[in-house]
Structure 1
Amino acid sequence: MGRYIRYVILFSCCIFIYGSTHAASVRCGAEQTDKYLPLLSGKRVALVVNHTSLIGNTPLPDSLFSLGVRLTGIFVPEHGFRGTADAGETVRDGKDVRTGLPIYSLYGQTKKPQDKQLENTDIVVFDMQDVGARFYTYISTLYYVIQACAENGKPLIVLDRPNPCDTIDGPVLQHRYRSFVGMFPIPVLHGCTIGEMARMINGEKWTGKHRHCQLTVIPVEGWKHGQPYSLPVKPSPNLPNDTSIALYPSLCPFEGTAISVGRGTTTPFQVIGSPDIHIFNFRFMPQSLPGFDKNPLYKGKYCYGLNLQGHNPADKGFTLKYIIQFYDLYKSTMQDAEKKFFTRPQWFDLLMGTAHVRHAIIRGKSEEEIRKGWQEELEKYRQTRNRYLLYPDYNE
């Protein structure tokens, strides 16, 4: 036991040195080993992690393994353990070459830990960097992990991290549009850390059948809502920097349209365009790019549109102005614009969490008029959110 304590002290010192150079005084939950290692002592531990699950520059599984924590397996979400799988690409089971641990995919045939996979586990630890948007699927993975832990009587520890898109905006998801890109009635930008979201999922019993998980959240130190936070590593292949993360909530719904969001370029979610419109001077050509996208929309074709790289990353929020702008261009330049623009209307509606937005755009409604339609539900959501906050809220 004395050796264990010495490891904890040494590890905490390393974390302090790292924390002094990264994000000032912000310390993520994973870095605060003194708070959760005692909870893991003598336990068989399963991890739900990916490439963002770091202590300093070291992956969490490697750190815990070196500290003698008894690990039983690693569960991984969309984009895989090392964060290199494309969006929507199946992630397969495997074995971690560094620790020898089995890797179980939560983005393939099943998105939920199976009872058999948890048989030899006493406790589950979840650590991933979310970006604060409803359709970013790490919170959907969190949902299924909470459900599995509740069903199997396994305690869950969530190691919290800041929300880089920390604001509340957009339509609230309607139940009929529930999918893996929207599991619960929250707006596009939900204004929660992943730890607060875990508390909300658990507290509101969104996992169904009155299930409740024994949940512990290790909060972030030195952070509050609205405080800027720059991610030390990209959370997924096509969110390479702060600008792409800030624009992602507003540009992701374009995935249900004929407009490219720059997948297959080095500036994804920072450029938008289409081969159908030639009125813009700016153009880009998607290609098969390892580490970004292997088979992007309009591969090998010039897309004409907007370069948004000058967008201020501090300007975070949700806007419909780009979608309305491009829909109006389609409407003014071609027949049957609705079908040619909304190429995957059902997918667009799933991302929005409602069909009202698409129908309103088609009817020619302004963004201000469309926004009025979701304000009442947004206010109800704010009241729900308040019950699960772990940090001082905006303007406090």
Structure 2
Amino acid sequence: MSKVAEQAFIVIGGGIGGLATALGIAETKQKVKVLEQAQEFGEVGAGIQLAANATNVLQRLGVMDKISEIAVFPKRLVLMDAFSGEELSALDLGDVYRERYGAPYIVLHRSDLHRILVEACEENAYIELFTNQKIENTVENDGVVTVTTANGEQHIGKAAIGADGIWSNTRKLFADDEAVCSQYVAYRGAIPIDDISSHGNLDDVYMWIGPDLHLVQYPVRRGELYNQVVVFKSSQYRPAIEKTDQWGTPEEMDQVFAGTCPLVQTGISYIQRQRRWPMYDRNPINNWTKGRITLTGDAAHPMLQYLAQGACQALEDASFLTDMLEKHGDNIEQAFLEYQEERIPRTADVQTSARMWGEIIHNTTPEAILLRNTIMKNRTDQDFQFVDRFHGYNKTAVKA
């Protein structure tokens, strides 16, 4: 095994969080190997929303200029009643937002973000990318971490970071837990923007909400495509059929959204129906680290999408971990411990808050809906109290 390989950090997983982690480690002028299970680096899904706590990190990592060329900078985040079509509340995402948090709110296609991160890694002399790497085992002995693949190949490095998502094998080193099914499913897709030009302000991010359902819409790829995500709770869900496609079907989607306003109905008519995403998270755990092995992103803290913070938290992880590696030098164990000391409480708060906001936006009782709507209608679009603690996290600022 080469000396370079022995000195490398090993990042398990080549998604958004894993690639950002590699770029962060490379900032410290240390070698990184990224091991991706798939045959090529790529991203599934459609759009992604990134608040200032994420774009601050992307600025730090030096990729924001390229991202800005293809991202959309929405003017407002708008909460709508899916049945009446009434605007309930909005958040100004313009200059006031950027001045408050030091970075913009952007929306873009996940594959565009992922491609830019891959290219940044490919151009970085400290980073090597590997595909077809299904990881079977990760162990540490005497300060050396050995990662073994399904075909028997071994990668030897000085530390390993599990960035292998919600179904992480690396997480099994720390927790014998199961993913929690929310009983909600999502259908996602992006269509040509011209197909939905009858809509209102295409510069805004819309979230249409109703009992046990919502629809999110926003432009991506320089405004050429319109991203849509349809989410609803399935009354057909049963634990016995959880691993099947017998619940949350397209037919049930049509039933759940029956009676919604015409703009929502138009959006639903365009949604891609061939793939559904059951929505899972996990309960927070109190330890991610053992010696020179730690977790990041969805491997550490998978969360529901209701705050659009999953990728944002992975980017926060990457930035803070980089700071700890710079602070502690060769003492990787201490760097990992201080990293999780900061990040575990932060991400647990966001995980549990995402669940809570899911309950708020999906309220089913008239009393709760009235209370929510009254509160929302009485705030201004420059009242940031509900998002400050998420978007305003200040440990990811660009270094002077």
Give the helix-richer structure, 1 or 2: 2
TM-score using structure 1 length:
0.27
Give the strand-richer structure, 1 or 2: 2
Q: Which has the higher contact order (CA 8 A, sep 6+)?
A: 2
TM-score using structure 2 length:
0.27
